[in-house]
Amino acid sequence: MLDLSHMPVIDNHCHPVLLNQQMDALQFRSYFTEATDASFPEKHVRNSIYYTWFLRQAAKFYGCAAREEEILAVRNSIDADALLERLLEAAHIDTLILDPAYPLSDQCYTPDRMSELGHCHTAKMLRLETLMQQFILAHDDFDDLLEHYSTELSNIRERGYCAFKSIVAYRTGLNIEQWSKDEAVASFAEARVSAIRSGRLRIAHKPLLDYLLRIAFHKAAEQQLPVQFHTGYGDSDTDMRLGNPLHLRDVLEQPEYRSMQVVLLHESYPYCQLGAYLAAIYPHVYFDLSYTIPFVDKLEMLAFTRQALGVAPASKLMFSTDGIDVPEMHWVGAMRGRSIIGQVLDELIDADEIDQEQAYHLAQFILRDTARTVYRL
């Protein structure tokens, strides 16, 4: 058996955890579903394979029975700093690459504090849509907006970020098109009107969003910076048809974007084979294997890990958890990821595809080395 339990991991996509970790069962459960309807934490989460398995792992960690109320009683008796410290240490993490744009920063541990408590490194990515929203609200002139936006996307490593991230799949889809400046200006005017009316902005104006994204891609290419794209499974309001990574073809084919690395997040679930295929074909495409979110069971995780390793080189694959809100997610995803990758590599040894030593090297790429290279850590 390939034992990867001591291999430190780079979690190439996750989020900060909440400062307030005191919570009741309904709140805790609500973090274990992507559905927003209240019926899920009330009735359904407890009946998911993922959550049932998760409670058993948590019970072992907290030394109590695998009953939700007992687990919550133990975790609520530990202060948030200590909880974070114990879980991240047990996860044996080298680096967390955080998207600090969500949850809101005033409710969360800062990356620096997570690093201190977790005895690990942290790095940050810059979420493009959040930045766009701030800039659209702050500027009434489009050229003004473009100037400030472009400046903000320059010298990005010196500003403390190692990647951009886009959630366009959750807004207007991965079919990012070419729009004229006039079309973008008209779309900007519409966005401003709705923003002024409601006092806030959720950018879902396709010509504007696509136009601003293409500027960001030029900036990323210039700086040889990776851009993470949410693909497949995600927020409940996403149009899953447009979360298929094959929609990125136009962007992937653009010669001027070739020096921007594209990271397809969440194993593009359920478009796993398609996403892994893109990583196998395009030199600048990488495929993220996420072992907490989406909340799928072990059999499904084995399946996507097999599909990814079946077609794409391990030097194109990267581990993550997408952990968010509660530190158990970062911990359990690291444990689960190592064990599933180990099991699939064991199967490949049994099938006489690779030997033990090769398996170990491939695991190192997925758990750490691919990310280290791509994000220049």
Q: Is 325 in the site for Zn ion (CB under 5 A)?
A: no
Residues with Cβ within 8 Å of 144's Cβ and at least 6 positions away in sequence, in order, are none
CB 13, min distance to Zn ion, A: 6
CB 15, min distance to Zn ion, A: 6
CB 288, min distance to Zn ion, A: 10
How far CA 291 is from CA of 97, 142, 340, 371, in Å, comes to 15, 41, 9, 16
The two three-digit tokens of residue 277, written as one number: 């295929």
Q: Is 322 in the site for Zn ion (CB under 5 A)?
A: yes
Nearer CB in complex with Zn ion: 15/75: 15
Smallest CA-to-CA distance from 375 within 56, 35, 124 is with: 124
Segment interacting with Zn ion (CB under 5 A) among 60-68, 73-81, 123-131, 321-329:
321-329
How far CA 134 is from CA of 63, 147, 300, 306, in Å, comes to 45, 14, 38, 41
The answer to whether 149 and 131 are in contact (CB under 8 A) is: yes
Nearer CB in complex with Zn ion: 210/322: 322
Segment interacting with Zn ion (CB under 5 A) among 103-111, 175-183, 238-246, 318-326:
318-326
Cα–Cα dist 52/70, whole Å? 14
Segment interacting with Zn ion (CB under 5 A) among 211-219, 241-249, 314-322, 358-366:
314-322
Segment interacting with Zn ion (CB under 5 A) among 55-63, 137-145, 155-163, 315-323:
315-323
Question: What is the DSSP-derived secondary structure letter of residue 92?
Answer: T
Smallest CA-to-CA distance from 181 within 139, 140, 135, 214 is with: 214
Segment interacting with Zn ion (CB under 5 A) among 26-34, 167-175, 273-281, 320-328:
320-328
CB 52, min distance to Zn ion, A: 23
The answer to whether 174 and 245 are in contact (CB under 8 A) is: yes
Residue type, 138: A
Of all residues in this chain, which one has the CB nearest to Zn ion in the complex? 322
Segment interacting with Zn ion (CB under 5 A) among 19-27, 124-132, 319-327, 340-348:
319-327
CB 372, min distance to Zn ion, A: 20
Nearer CB in complex with Zn ion: 267/322: 322
Question: What is the DSSP-derived secondary structure letter of residue 108?
Answer: B
Cα–Cα dist 211/146, whole Å? 10
The two three-digit tokens of residue 281, written as one number: 């074909």
CB 99, min distance to Zn ion, A: 6
Cα–Cα dist 189/11, whole Å? 39
Q: Is 267 in the site for Zn ion (CB under 5 A)?
A: no
Nearer CB in complex with Zn ion: 118/234: 234
Nearer CB in complex with Zn ion: 85/322: 322
List the x/- string, 273-312, binding to Zn ion by CB under 5 A: ----------------------------------------
Helix axes 328-350, 49-62, angle to 10 degrees: 110
Site for Zn ion in 105-164 (CB under 5 A): none
Segment interacting with Zn ion (CB under 5 A) among 62-70, 126-134, 316-324, 342-350:
316-324
Strand order in the sheet with 227-229: 9-14, 93-98, 121-127, 161-166, 227-229, 262-264, 285-290, 317-320
Nearer CB in complex with Zn ion: 91/311: 91
How far CA 362 is from CA of 56, 177, 312, 329, in Å, comes to 29, 36, 11, 24
The length of the chain in residues reads: 377
Give the binding-site size for Zn ion (rule: CB under 5 A).
1
CB 33, min distance to Zn ion, A: 15
Nearer CB in complex with Zn ion: 133/315: 133
CB 148, min distance to Zn ion, A: 26
Cα–Cα dist 357/353, whole Å? 12
Give the residues lining the site for Zn ion (CB under 5 A): 322
